[in-house]
Amino acid sequence: MHSNQAGRCFTLCLAVLLLGAPMFAKTRVAKQPFGQTPDGAAVELYQLSDGKIEARIITYGGIIVSLRTPDRNGRLGDIVLGCDTLEQYIAQTAHFGGIIGRYANRIAHGTFHLDDHTYSIPKNDGDNALHGGPRGFDKVVWQAKEIPDGIELTYVSKDGDQGFPGTLNTTVRYTVNGGALRIEYSATTDKDTVLNLTNHSYFNLKGQGKGDILGHVVKIDASLVTPLNADLIPTGEVKPVEGTPFDFRTAHAVGERINADDPQLRLGKGYDINFVLPHPGELAEAAEVYEPSTGRILRVRTTEPGLQFYSGNHLEGPIPGKAGRVYNFRSGLCLEAEHFPDSPNHPNFPSTELKPGQVFHSVTVYEFSAGTR
């Protein structure tokens, strides 16, 4: 064979191989306006798509406004609860899809002690501070820029913001790749402070607004929980899940035991408790959720020491949702990878203190697939 013939043959064979090979599309990032806050701040929406899943995120609160994943037949559906407009997101109190900070979950009596000082956070949950106070990180506008496979959001929380000490520089990166949504958090401070960041997406793997989540089958890799008192504040104890409705080390439907005669279930009106994860600091699998009718599977991996499993017990509907849907009692579940609730007031819990010169860093990955069990 002549050299020019060999060259043409090589080119043709290479083209055939490339056409027949699976193509891994680069994640596409698109931006569009999403309105203005009452004080005139522009809010943008970013759409991240890798050809498998699609996430839409707004700069107000870093909120995940939609997350489209395929069912077992390849049909895409939006699996997170939310709102259609910025005005609705500003008004809602369920924390749909937002970045939660400075302190996710509850702080008892809205107070904690640090470096011989007592700090007070505005109480917005009875006698407690919840999710960073009334103007937490899900109620502010973040600055955004495009990065490979996604976006980077930044926010500067000034010293004294919602009563917390120190000026905090926070960065949250959302990236989509290989059918997974990765959330990476980092932060620095100029004064000793406390910090607990998470995302508060409500998942319904049947599709947002398509009923409750009681048939979702959940597995959580945790043998311990932190029990709560009547104010939903940890008692400071760490107790085994064995022999209780909180044992999800083998998979159970959410509704299978949610109405059991258990004091912790009665206090939370269902599941609303922190699970102690066995591999803090490692990006390890924490939970898996399977929805039988669609075949959708959600796997959660995180470096965090805790996972708050919340079964949407305070979604006291009807709450207007997206695309004309309505949300009612237990129409979404949350898997909030975070540090333990009220840690600043429990020295035996993993520390949430952040000091000048330190860099807080945490990663949580939501992986999506579909199949038959």
The model's pLDDT over 77-100, given as tens digits with 9 standing for 90+, comes to 999 999 999 999 999 999 999 999
Question: What residue type is assigned to position 357 of the chain?
Answer: G
Q: Identify the pLDDT of residue 372.
A: 80
Listed in sequence order, the residues at least 6 apart from 56 whose beta carbon sits closer than 8 Å to its beta carbon are 45, 46, 47, 48, 64, 65, 66, 67
Q: Are 124 and 145 in contact (CB under 8 A)?
A: no
On whether the CB atoms of residues 345 and 194 are closer than 8 A, the answer is no
- pLDDT per position as a tens digit, 215-251: 999 999 999 999 999 999 999 999 999 999 999 999 9
Task: State in Å, rounded, how far the first CA of the chain is from the last one.
Answer: 54
pLDDT score of 21 more than 70? no
CA nearest 138: which of 93, 182, 107, 173? 93
Mean pLDDT, residues 265-270: 97
DSSP H or E segment with residue 173: strand 168-177
Q: How confident is the model at residue 157 (pLDDT cuts 50, 70, 90)?
A: very high
Share of the chain above pLDDT 70, in %: 93
Fold entry, domain 28-370:
Beta-galactosidase; Chain A, domain 5 (2.70.98)
Distance CA 202, CA 214 (A): 14
- Which pLDDT score is estimated for 316? 86
Q: Please say if 113 is a catalytic residue.
A: no
Cα–Cα separations (whole angstroms), residue 59 to 34, 102, 192, 292: 9, 17, 27, 34
Question: Of 95, 131, 200, 346, which is the active-site residue?
Answer: 200
Q: Is the pLDDT of residue 7 over 50?
A: no
pLDDT reported for residue 6: 43
Does the pLDDT at position 306 exceed 70? yes
> Is residue 44 flagged as an active site residue?
no
50/55 Cα distance (integer angstroms)? 9
- In which residue are the tokens 């109620």 written? 139
d(Cα 325, Cα 315) in Å, to the nearest integer? 14
Across residues 119-135, what is the average pLDDT? 97
pLDDT computed for residue 25 by the predictor: 62
Catalytic residue among 54, 304, 336, 367: 336
> Does the predicted model carry a pTM greater than 0.85?
yes
pLDDT value of position 152 = 98
